[in-house]
Chains A and B, each alone.
Chain A
Amino acid sequence: MTDTLQIDPIEALKDKEPSKPPRSQWRDVWDQFRKHKGALFGGGFLLFITLFVIIGPYIWTLDAQKLDIRNKDMRPIYTWLWDGSAKIAWNRPLGTDNLGRDMLANMIKGGRTSLAVGWAAMVLALFLGTLIGVLSGYFKRLDGILMRFTDLVLSLPLLPLLLVAVTLFRQPLRAAFGPEEGMFILIVGVIGITSWMQTARIVRGEVLALKEREFILAARSIGTTPGKIITRHLLPNIMSPIMVSATLGLATAIITESALSFLGVGFPSDFPTWGKMLADSVPRMTEYPERVLLPGIAISLTVLSVNYLGDGLRDALDPRVRGR
């Protein structure tokens, strides 16, 4: 009886082949990301500045620390456009500072430190935030205590505490790890420890929602351990909010490090970072404005590009926005 019944399938079901070739998720993400001009520019600039500080020292081999007192206070070559009598030289394209140290080499070295601190602090904050967020979202017993703890840390006055921590702990760490490494560990540590809270809250919210879905239930029903559920099923699904908060974290970390250097509690004085270079040149900024402008613009452009990148990523990784 039933085998004789012929149902005409509707139009779409007649297709033997899919009308469009299947597209991977990341292709969709990239297509959406490409539409956001600011994000594209931001990503490009971040890539450029990262390459600039990584490859830079191999191309511009001048030592950033070398004193050259005869060639001090040189102006950047573009000063020549409006001031023909300015002291310029082609082998010092961005001029020199008051001790004759080359500005371009300093910018590269300073950018290296600033970006390294930014990346490292961001990774640390992301790790802490994801850990606490996943733990409190997945395990109900830990939720109350961990979230109260997050609230408490959020109500700490962070900038004053950062200042206190860096000022008070720099001596022992510098004694233990050497002046530069000690300071690096200290600054990355304090910035990371004080900026994980937003990530933790976002991750917890996502995990709470995902935990109730069927695929997690299915995974649990075949006996997957909580650790495996978290690493195999939860973490890949919360990658997009984590990536967005990573960009925000990178921007905040770069600004915080520069602010600490600016207030005079950052790296030692012979160790350039963008914030430190800016702070050091403020007293003479009327004669040599470029020494304030160059590191300032570098910080601002990097942070601006990271913020735009985050904006674009947020749109590209959100399937509700994507494809609109």
Chain B
Amino acid sequence: MLTFTIRRLILSVPTLLFIALVIFLLLELAPGDPMAQVPLTVPPEVKEKMREALGLGQPAHIRFFKWLYQFFVVEPMVFWDWMWGTTYTEGMQRVISWQTRSPVMDIVVQRMPQTLWVVGMAYIVGILIALPIGIYSAYRQYSVFDQAGTFVSMIGFSIPPFFTGPLLIVLFSVQLGWFPSIYDTTHVVTDWASFKVQFMQMIMPVMVLALQTTAQISRYMRASMLENLNEDYVRTARAKGLSEAVVVMVHVLRNSMIPVVTVIALGMPAIFGGAIITENVFKVNGIGQLLLTALFANDIPMVLTLTFIFAILIVVFNLIADILYGVLDPRIRYD
């Protein structure tokens, strides 16, 4: 298992490098000019200096390697310095955003908590709703509950978040006035009342994202439970005289969770992607919204770094899913 993990970790390095290259080349080939907004009265030699100040003076491959160095060496060192109060990175060049002229990672760190709160909560809520639905609809296959569950998850697959979002806003913020329609990120939780405000404003974005998760995971849970319910060991367990609750909740559930856990791990990056739309609907200023604004402002370093962070998430969670599968299922041996 350890050798497998190490081998996969080493293999993920070229994958990440390839992804970085693809994103970099895509941005490189794109015809946007960062100097397009500069007034025409600015003389060309000054413009040239400005380009150099943005780090555009060198050829593409040197810029790519500089960015790699900054992302993989300088930024972790900055994090180290911040953790332990050391000063290794004094005078080192970090990845600088063209919009704000501040380091990209500082902005990402500012925006990350909002995204993590909303996305993380949505995922947890989605899983907590999906698992019981999946278990019960498999146990009572073709019952009314199962049919309704199938229909609801079909709807969850089909209604896009940019429609459910406005729908919920019209219903719950405008007509009923229960929840705020805009997520206030400056809100600080200090006591019970402010926690309630925070809770209220999180309900709708979390629900929109959770609907998608629920639809997907409850389907997997149902299929996996159905596969296991007809196994011989279930009959054995019943024949031993175990109660139905123990048979289903201990024997079948534990075995059915193996594929579901990996699906949960694999779905994590996708929900970060889906959060781009949800953040836009509810005006949450998380990293999805940051990516959008950076894109419209032609802020190449920011777009490159953010897209690469999304890619790292995907690669890491794929790795986690593979390892979890091996750990949970003793039948699977990777070596």
Segment among B21-29, B129-137, B233-241 that sits at the interface with chain A: B21-29
| 10 A-B interface contacts by CB (under 8 A) | A152-B18, A156-B314, A157-B311, A160-B310, A164-B23, A263-B276, A292-B163, A296-B159, A300-B159, A304-B159
B19 at the interface (CB under 8 A from A): yes
Contact of B292 among A163, A172, A292 (CB under 8 A): A163
The reply to whether B163 and A157 contact each other, CB–CB distance below 8 Å, is no
The reply to whether A262 and B26 contact each other, CB–CB distance below 8 Å, is no
The reply to whether B160 and A299 contact each other, CB–CB distance below 8 Å, is yes
Closest chain-B Cβ to A304's Cβ sits at a distance in Å of 4
Segment among A67-75, A105-113, A251-259 that sits at the interface with chain B: A251-259
Segment among A8-16, A224-232, A277-285 that sits at the interface with chain B: A277-285
The reply to whether A164 and B295 contact each other, CB–CB distance below 8 Å, is yes
| Segment 290-313 of B: residues with Cβ below 8 Å from A | 291-292, 295-296, 303, 306-307, 310-311, 313
A321 at the interface (CB under 8 A from B): no
Segment among B77-85, B150-158, B242-250, B324-332 that sits at the interface with chain A: B150-158
Among B169, B269, B307, which residue has the most Cβ atoms of chain A within 10 A?
B307
Closest chain-B Cβ to A321's Cβ sits at a distance in Å of 14
The reply to whether B163 and A278 contact each other, CB–CB distance below 8 Å, is yes
User: Residue-by-residue, is B164-184 near A (CB-CB < 8 Å gives 1, otherwise 0)?
Assistant: 001101100010000000000
CA–CA, A299 to B164, complex, Å? 12
Q: How large is the interface on A (under 10, 10 to 19, 20 to 34, 35 or more residues)?
A: 35 or more
B318 at the interface (CB under 8 A from A): yes
CA–CA, A156 to B19, complex, Å? 6
The reply to whether A299 and B163 contact each other, CB–CB distance below 8 Å, is yes
Closest chain-B Cβ to A46's Cβ sits at a distance in Å of 12
The reply to whether A258 and B303 contact each other, CB–CB distance below 8 Å, is no
CA–CA, A226 to B47, complex, Å? 58
B31 at the interface (CB under 8 A from A): yes
| Segment 131-157 of A: residues with Cβ below 8 Å from B | 151-152, 155-157
B38 at the interface (CB under 8 A from A): no
B57 at the interface (CB under 8 A from A): no
A308 at the interface (CB under 8 A from B): yes
User: Residue-by-residue, is A275-313 near B (CB-CB < 8 Å gives 1, otherwise 0)?
Assistant: 100110010011001001100100110011001100100
Given contacts A155-B15, A160-B291, contact A279 B162 (CB under 8 A): yes
Which B residues are in CB contact (< 8 Å) with A164?
23, 26-27, 30, 295, 303, 307
CA–CA, A317 to B22, complex, Å? 38
Given contacts A159-B276, A289-B170, A292-B167, contact A258 B160 (CB under 8 A): yes
The reply to whether B166 and A282 contact each other, CB–CB distance below 8 Å, is yes
